[in-house]
Structure 1
Amino acid sequence: MRFKTNLKNVRTFSKLVAALSTLEKIAWMRLDDENVRFTVIPDTGSQVWASLSMDFIFDSWQLQSAEAQNTINLELPLGPLQRALKSALNGTSASLRLTKKDGIPILSMTITTTTASANTGRDPYSRFSAHNNPRDNNDSHFNAGGDGDDDDGVFAAEPLETHLHREREKIITQDIPVRVLHPETVETIMQPKVREPDVHIQLPPLLQLKAISDRYTKLALASRATSSTTAAVTANFSPKLELSANMHGSLRLALTADTLDIASQWDGLENPELDPGQLNCLLADHPSTKFKEEGPDKWASVRVDGKDWSKVLSVGRLEGRVIACFADDHALILYVYVPQYDDASAEDSVVTYYVSSYSL
């Protein structure tokens, strides 16, 4: 089993890992000849399934295993990986290698950085100023030749003195402990299956949506603290926010509580066209078609945990477009399309979030 690669798109890779780590401390990473997949399945809360092409974050990789497509399955802690990538952000290059240390499998990240150093002192060339060209004076040591040339081939040795800045290369190694998973173990990790969505809509900027969602959550918590006499009850409480969308470009975020009833609405959003070739039914029979025919008053809704929803929206740091698919009163699926900035012709990678709906 062998895996060795150089890293590219380190900043995007770091943002992805940071978003995943808000949901869980451990992730499953699956490597094969074509893709790298990250899966996060916490005990409670939203699940994540990220599929990236190998050349999105890796360069000049070597991958070898006894499994089909040279598949390697690893369980890795996201915290150490996030810290290692943070160190690599300011480096000139970084590489990743699967190896062993004291019999324990690790992903070893080697980061190359450069630091500027300066030696202060007199510059021996400072006397060669524009107003003091050595070839213009009568110093015989700088005579180009001809009469009076007294160069005897012997030069006086001088100490090296320079104030020029020099770059020094520095190597940093970060070791990330991992577990190599058996293929039979990962067969039980299945992506949730949901019915065809009733509404699909492109979300507004996630950081904007997150700011409003967090505000609603804080208001609900403050209201709960005012009305509750038990601090423990308030600490374990997480408000439920209602997200609704229709097939006419509208999205609504609402909070209803004992003393609160507030909502925000976005209009003019895009309902992307579906690809008939990707559907399990005729487009005319698709639930979203029926929702659209019933007009703008026909909404699909889900109820999400306010604190968990805030973690999900952290994926907004990837700055990709996000399509939300609503299965009314059942689940919300977010497809985050991450562009490959150095190759405009390449297909976007997809990070999929599965968010269950809470019942009333």
Structure 2
Amino acid sequence: MRFKTDLRNIRTFSKLVAALNSLEKIAWVRLDDDTVRFTVIPDTGSQVWASLSVDLIFDNYHLQSAEPNNTINLELPLGPLQRALRSAAGSNHASLRLTKRDGVPMLSMTIHAMTKDPGGANAATAAAAAAAARAGYPPDADDDLFPQESLELSMRREREKIITQDIPVRVLHPDTVETIMQPKVREPDVHIQLPPLLQLKAISDRFTKLALTTTTGSAARPNAPGPRLELSANMHGSLRLRLVAESLDIESVWDGLDNPELDPSQLAVPLEEHPSTAFRAAGPERWATVRVDGKDWSRVLSVGRLEGRVIACFADDHALILYVYVPHHDDAAAEDVVTYYVSSYSA
């Protein structure tokens, strides 16, 4: 079993891991010849299913195992991976490989970074001035006749610094991973492109904070569930975020959003029989609604760091599925998808 690769897009990879780590500390990672899959299933809260093409985050990718498609399944702690990626930010080269340390499987990240030699131009200038003083010349003698030029570019030294960070992992048996099933959801009643997630997060966090400051008793304890936010959308380009609390009833509404056209070839039922068709025909007053935990919803929205478009699919009073499309920086037409599954609380 072998896995070795260079990191191609550290910034995007780091943002993805940070978003996943906000939901759960452990991820299941499935590597094969073509894709990298991250699965995060917390004990409570939203689940994530990310399927990324290898060339989004990796380069010079080498994978070998006895399983079909050279599949390797790992249980990976996200915190150490996030810290390693943070160390790799700004480096000129970083690589990742599966290895062992004292019999323990490790993902070993090797980071190559350039550091400035502390004995650079300033030290050289100071040494030259000291030598002139010892020779009996004033420090600024003949400056007008022989103007000094900076030696910073020629005197500065750069040295390569190599950092290795080991991340302990568990290699999982394929049969174990096959039991991890993605939730099945009925055809959505409403599908809509969300506004920028960081904007939506700012307002959602404000609503949650207002609810917490007006809540008394056991619900105000740190470990208690967060306030419930009501999220609704229709098939006429509108999204509504609402908070109903003890002394509050506030909402924000976005209009003019896009309800993307569905591809009939991808549907389980004919387009004219799809639930969204009935919701569209019912007019702008027909809303699909889900109720989410405010704290969990805020963690979900942290995926907005990836800066991709997000399509939300509402199964009325049942679940919300978010499809986060991650663009490739070197190919505007290529996208990968991260899928969030958010259960709805009952009314």
Q: Which residue matches 1:195? A: 186
Distance 2:69 2:223 in 1: 48
Taking the TM superposition and a 5 Å limit, the aligned residue runs for 1:12-91 are: 12-91=12-91
The TM-score, its normalising length taken from structure 1, stands at 0.87
Q: Distance in 2 between matches of 1:231 and 1:187?
A: 38
Mapped contact 2:51–2:338 kept (Cα < 8 A): yes
Taking only aligned residues, the RMSD between alpha carbons, in angstroms, comes to 2.0
Tell me which residue corresponds to 2:345: 358
User: Aligned partners of 2:52 and 2:32: how far apart in 1?
Assistant: 11
**1:182 maps to which of 173, 180, 186:** 173
Instruction: Tell me how far 1:237 sits from its aligned partner.
Output: 3.9
Secondary structure at 2:305's aligned position in 1? helix
Change (3 A) 1:267 1:72: same
Give the 5 Å matches for 1:1-360. Answer: 1-117=1-117, 118=120, 119-120=123-124, 121-122=127-128, 164-225=155-216, 228=217, 233=221, 235-345=223-333, 347-360=334-347
Residues 237-279 of structure 1 deviation map (CA, whole Å, 9 limit, x = unaligned): 4111000000000000001122111111000000001111111
Q: Give the paired residue count.
A: 324
Alignment match, 1:144 = none
* One-letter amino acid of the structure 1 residue matched with residue 101 of structure 2: K
Could you list the runs of 5+ residues in structure 1 that have no partner in the other structure? 133-161
Question: By how many angstroms is 1:234 displaced?
Answer: 6.8
Per-residue CA shift, 1:165-213, capped at 9, x if unaligned?
A: 0110000000000000000100110110100000000000101100110
Distance 1:92 1:219, change over 3 A: same
Q: Equivalent residue for 2:150?
A: none
One-letter amino acid of the structure 2 residue matched with residue 18 of structure 1: A
| Alpha-carbon offset, residue 122 of structure 1 | 3.1
Q: Are the aligned partners of 1:122 and 1:163 in contact in 2 as well (CA < 8 Å)? A: no
- Give the residue type in structure 2 aligned to 1:321: R
Counterpart AA for 1:220: A
Say if 1:235 and 1:173 are closer, same or farther in 2 by CA, change over 3 A: closer
CA contact (8 A) 2:225 2:293 kept: no
Instruction: Give aligned-pair identity as a percent.
Output: 73
Q: 1:231 to 1:201 in 2, by over 3 A?
A: closer
SS of alignment partner, residue 332 of structure 2: coil
* Structure 2: 5+ residue stretches without partners: 132-142, 147-152
Larger radius of gyration: 1
- One-letter amino acid of the structure 1 residue matched with residue 282 of structure 2: E
Q: Tell me the TM-score normalised to structure 2 length.
A: 0.90
